[in-house]
């Protein structure tokens, strides 16, 4: 993927582009579509490890996603959950460091990222749960992820549960802003080989990012808890005041396929999630499912666990 193609979605999403809406519509009508590796190449390597990020690059990802959490000592790390027990051996290494929390009406023991320091988290094995060949893989810091990906693909970080951190006095948006500035990635076009697109379910965080980093694209994520009928033009116009694109769960687009057209009309790109070979649905294959979203519905990009199966052409 050449530099111009790799930057395509970033340019479309950038709030600094005055003709954003026209460019977005042109993208939807063209065959230039963008591949985002969801948690890395997470169908083939343990999610959010350097191995998964490295493989995503090898498989041609235009962007690599990082979910972000914050350690007890204020370091951004890459992990999907806000606790460590699903993807590490934290139960064995720190058996007494859990808290009891209610999850879906049940009490569960959880080892929260924010309760352990980076040094402690680095003692964990983040690969063996996926396969013995990945034993010893660590939870990477976001800086480590940036260092690995930079020059080879774009960054697509998600601020995970920033409201939870906010309630504890931890300012996640500020940590993200500061790290991007230290890396010289806080302005669109600062590094042609490593464009940055920010994402979150939290509109307050995206508003903060819009104020501090106005040229960087921002995607507002929309989950399945949102009924499709609630994604009205009025709501889309409100989203467009702080975001440059939407990232809906793919089920929302199947229920309301005109959402793509309506978002594009307001200058918003559309980047649905998540496409994976491990999920069964009415489509005959993962490739056919992705083609339907990309070339029939006209989305601009999509998140997939299987970067090697992304269809570049209809």
| Catalytic residue IDs | 38, 80
251, 260 contact by CB (below 8 A): no
Residues ≥6 apart with Cβ < 8 Å to 124: 84, 88, 89, 90, 93, 138, 139
Can you name the residues that pair with 198 across neighbouring β-strands? 218
154, 62 contact by CB (below 8 A): yes
Can you name the residues that pair with 108 across neighbouring β-strands? 101
Closest CA to 195 of 247, 246, 242, 155: 155
**Torsions phi, psi for 178 (to 5 deg):** -65, -40
Residues ≥6 apart with Cβ < 8 Å to 27: 8, 9, 12, 269, 300
User: Is the backbone peptide bond immediately before 274 cis, with ω within 30 degrees of 0?
Assistant: yes
269, 27 contact by CB (below 8 A): yes
Take residue 219 and report the two structure tokens written for it.
């995607």
116, 97 contact by CB (below 8 A): yes
CA distance 134 to 129: 9
Give the distance, in angstroms, between the CA of residue 42 and the centroid of all CA atoms in the same chain: 13
180, 191 contact by CB (below 8 A): no
For tokens 């972000």, the residue is 68
- Look at the alpha carbons of 57, 54, 275, 193 in this order and tell me if their dihedral is positive or negative: negative
């Amino acid at each position: 993927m050449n530099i111009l193609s790799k930057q395509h979605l970033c340019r479309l999403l950038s709030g600094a582009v005055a003709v954003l809406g026209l460019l977005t519509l042109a993208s939807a009508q063209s065959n230039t579509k963008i591949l985002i590796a969801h948690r890395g190449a997470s169908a083939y390597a343990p999610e959010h490890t350097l191995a998964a990020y490295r493989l995503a690059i090898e498989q041609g990802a235009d962007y690599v996603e990082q979910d972000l959490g914050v350690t007890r000592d204020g370091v951004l790390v890459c992990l999907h959950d806000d606790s460590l027990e699903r993807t590490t051996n934290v139960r064995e290494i720190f058996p007494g460091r859990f808290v009891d929390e209610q999850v879906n009406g049940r009490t569960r023991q959880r080892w929260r990222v924010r309760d352990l320091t980076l040094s402690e988290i680095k003692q964990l094995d983040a690969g063996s749960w996926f396969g013995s060949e990945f034993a010893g893989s660590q939870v990477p810091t976001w800086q480590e992820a940036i260092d690995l990906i930079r020059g080879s693909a774009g960054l697509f970080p998600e601020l995970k549960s920033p409201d939870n951190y906010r309630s504890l006095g931890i300012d996640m948006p500020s940590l993200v802003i500061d790290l991007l500035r230290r890396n010289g990635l806080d302005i669109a076009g600062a590094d042609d080989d490593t464009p940055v697109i920010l994402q979150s379910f939290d509109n307050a965080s995206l508003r903060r990012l819009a104020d501090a980093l106005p040229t960087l694209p921002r995607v507002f994520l929309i989950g399945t808890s949102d009924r499709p009928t609630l994604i009205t033009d009025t709501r889309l116009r409100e989203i467009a005041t702080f975001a440059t694109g939407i990232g809906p769960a793919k089920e929302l687009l199947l229920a309301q396929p005109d959402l793509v057209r309506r978002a594009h009309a307001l200058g918003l790109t559309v980047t649905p999630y998540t496409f994976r070979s491990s999920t069964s649905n009415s489509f005959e294959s993962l490739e056919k499912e992705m083609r339907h979203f990309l070339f029939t519905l006209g989305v601009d990009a999509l998140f997939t666990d299987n970067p090697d199966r992304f269809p570049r052409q209809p």
